[in-house]
Structure 1
Amino acid sequence: MFQVFLVEPDMQLNHLLCLYLQKEGLITTSFFNGEKAIKNIDKNPHLWILDRETPTIDGFTILSEVKSKYPDIPVIMISEQNSNIDRIVALEMGCDDYVSKPFLPKELVLRVKKILEHIHGNVKNRNRILLYAEYKIDEIVRIVQKDEEMINLTSKEFDLLLLLVKNLYRTFSREQILKYVWNDGHLGAERSVDDLVRRLRRKMRNLRIESIYSYGYRLLPNQVLKIKGCKTVTTQNEDIQGLFQ
C-alpha cells in the first residue's frame, strides 16, 4: 500500500479528498496547517498533496522542505491561484503536478495514481523484496517485516539498511555513509553514523553489521541472501558505485 500525506486547510475539502483517496486503497494522513506537516516530513510518505494557501507555513515552503530532504518523493500542489507564474514557480521548485481549484476529487485521485504508477513502473524490473535471515525488506514500499510483524525504521535507518544489504561484504567508511544517507546535506560529525548503526542493530538484532576499526562498517551474511523471484544478490550494487568514485 502507498501512503499519501494531504495538507489542506479547508476541513470539508480535506475530508472529501481523504475519502476519495482511501477508497482507492491509499493510506492517507491529512493536516490542516503547514506547521504540523513540516513536523512529519521525516515520516517519508510516497506522495504529498499540498495546498498552496496553507496557513502558518505555505505550500511553497513545505514543497521546498520536502524536496530538499527527499527529492524523489512526488508532490502535487493544489491552489486557488490559477496564474502561470505560480504554476511555473511550483514546477521549478520540483513540484510534479499542479492542479487549480475548483477540481473534481476524482481527477486528483487519478493524477495521484498516475504518478505513483509511473514511479512504480520505473522500478518494476528492479529488485523489490530482499530477504536477509528472517527479515523481508520491501525496497519500493520501504517496509521491513519479521515473521509478518512490522519493524518500524526511520527513513535514514532504512536507507542505511538498503546500502548494507545490497552490498554484502563491502566496507563503507563513515564519510561514505554520511554522503549516501544524508545526501551531503548533513553537517554533523561522523558520530552520527555510529548512532544510526547502533539504532539499526537494536531494531534488527540478527543483522551482522561488522565494525571496521577507525574506518566504518560492513554487513556479513546471516544466511544466503536472495531476492524474491530474482537472482542471488551480488556483493556490489551498480546503482551506488558512482556515488563513491
Structure 2
Amino acid sequence: MYRIFLVEDEPSLNQVLAAYLRNEGWSVETFHNGQDARDAMKERPHLWILDIMLPGVDGYQLMREIKEDFAKLPVIFISARDADIDRVIGLEMGSDDYLAKPFLPRELVIRTRKLLERVYGKRSEGNGFDDGNPIASLVPYRVDMQARMTFDTDGTALELTSKEFDLLLHLSAHAGQLLNREQLLASLWGEDYFGSDRVVDDLVRRLRKKLPELRLETVYGYGYRLAKA
C-alpha cells in the first residue's frame, strides 16, 4: 500500500482531500502545520502533498529539507497564491507536480496516481514488490524503485536506461502474464507512438544482456512473459 503524507492547514480541505486519497486504497497521514510534518520527515512516505502557505515552517522549507535527504522522493505542491510564480519556484526546487487552488479533489487523485506510477511503476499482487518497501526483490536481482536502480546479487549497481527500467517494472507488475508487442509498445511509448514494434524486441534484448538471470520468456510470434518468482 502506498503511504502518502498530506500537509494542508485548512481543516475542511485537509479532511476532504484525505478522504478522496484514502478511497483509492492509499494510506494517508495528514498534517496541519509544517513543524509536525517536519518531525515525521524521516518516516519516508512514498509521496508528499504540500501546501505552500503553512503556519510556521512553510511548504518551500519542507520541500528543501525533503529533497536534501530524499532527492528522488516525489512531491506535489498545492497553492492559492500566484500560480505562475509558485509553479516556477516549485519546479526549480524539485517538485514533481503542481496544483493551483481551487481544484477538484478528483484532479489531485488522478495526478497522484500518475506520479506514483511514473516513479514506482504499476503494481499488481504476486509480482514480488512490497508497497511498504522501496527495495524490491526480483530474483536474483534487487530493485530500488525510488532511486530507479537495479542491483546484482553482489550488490553491484546495474546501469539501466530509463526505458529499460520502465520495461523491467512493467514486466514485474504483470509477472506470469503473456504480453504482446503492441501492449508493451503502448505502455512504454504511449498510444500515439508511430513506428515499428521491433523497438520492443531491441529493448528486451538489451535488458536480457544486462540482466542475464532474468526469467523472461519469449513466445515467438506473440510477445514476452516474465515468470513468477
Question: TM class, shorter-chain normalised?
Answer: 0.5 to 0.7
TM-score by length of 1: 0.53
What's the counterpart of residue 133 of structure 2? 142
- The answer to whether the aligner puts 1:43 opposite 2:43 as a matched pair is yes
What's the counterpart of residue 66 of structure 2? 66
* Separation of aligned partners in 2, 1:67 and 1:100: 21
What one-letter code is carried by the residue in structure 2 that aligns with 1:39?
D
Deviates more, 1:82-91 or 1:52-61: 82-91
- The answer on whether the counterparts of 2:2 and 2:131 sit within 8 Å (CA) in structure 1 is no
- Judged with a 3 Å threshold, the aligned counterparts in structure 2 of structure 1 residues 58 and 2 are, in CA distance, closer, same or farther, namely same
- Judged with a 3 Å threshold, the aligned counterparts in structure 2 of structure 1 residues 10 and 170 are, in CA distance, closer, same or farther, namely closer
* Separation of aligned partners in 2, 1:143 and 1:114: 17
Structure 1 residue ranges without an equivalent (≥5): 130-137, 145-158, 160-165, 172-228, 232-245
What's the counterpart of residue 16 of structure 1? 16
Structure 2 residue ranges without an equivalent (≥5): 136-143, 145-150, 157-212, 216-229
Q: For 1:55, what is the secondary structure of its paired residue?
A: coil
Q: For 1:4, what is the secondary structure of its paired residue?
A: strand
What's the counterpart of residue 116 of structure 1? 116
RMSD across aligned C-alpha pairs, in angstroms? Answer: 3.3
* Separation of aligned partners in 1, 2:81 and 2:154: 53
* Separation of aligned partners in 2, 1:167 and 1:44: 25
What's the counterpart of residue 98 of structure 2? 98
* Separation of aligned partners in 2, 1:104 and 1:16: 10
Q: 1:196-235 residue pairs with structure 2 within 5 A?
A: 230-231=214-215
* Separation of aligned partners in 1, 2:94 and 2:77: 10
* Separation of aligned partners in 2, 1:52 and 1:77: 7
- Judged with a 3 Å threshold, the aligned counterparts in structure 2 of structure 1 residues 143 and 90 are, in CA distance, closer, same or farther, namely closer
* Separation of aligned partners in 1, 2:152 and 2:67: 27
What's the counterpart of residue 241 of structure 1? none
% identical equivalent positions:
41
What one-letter code is carried by the residue in structure 2 that aligns with 1:26?
W
Report how far residue 89 of structure 1 moved. Answer: 0.7
- The answer to whether the aligner puts 1:26 opposite 2:26 as a matched pair is yes
Report how far residue 120 of structure 1 moved. Answer: 2.7
Report how far residue 113 of structure 1 moved. Answer: 0.4
- Judged with a 3 Å threshold, the aligned counterparts in structure 2 of structure 1 residues 230 and 84 are, in CA distance, closer, same or farther, namely same
Runs of 4+ in 1 over 2 A off after TM superposition: 138-141, 166-171
Report how far residue 83 of structure 1 moved. Answer: 3.5
* Separation of aligned partners in 2, 1:170 and 1:10: 45
* Separation of aligned partners in 1, 2:71 and 2:214: 28
Report how far residue 170 of structure 1 moved. Answer: 6.4
Report how far residue 82 of structure 1 moved. Answer: 2.8
Q: 1:145-184 residue pairs with structure 2 within 5 A?
A: 166=151, 168=153
Report how far residue 168 of structure 1 moved. Answer: 4.6
- The answer on whether the counterparts of 2:5 and 2:47 sit within 8 Å (CA) in structure 1 is yes
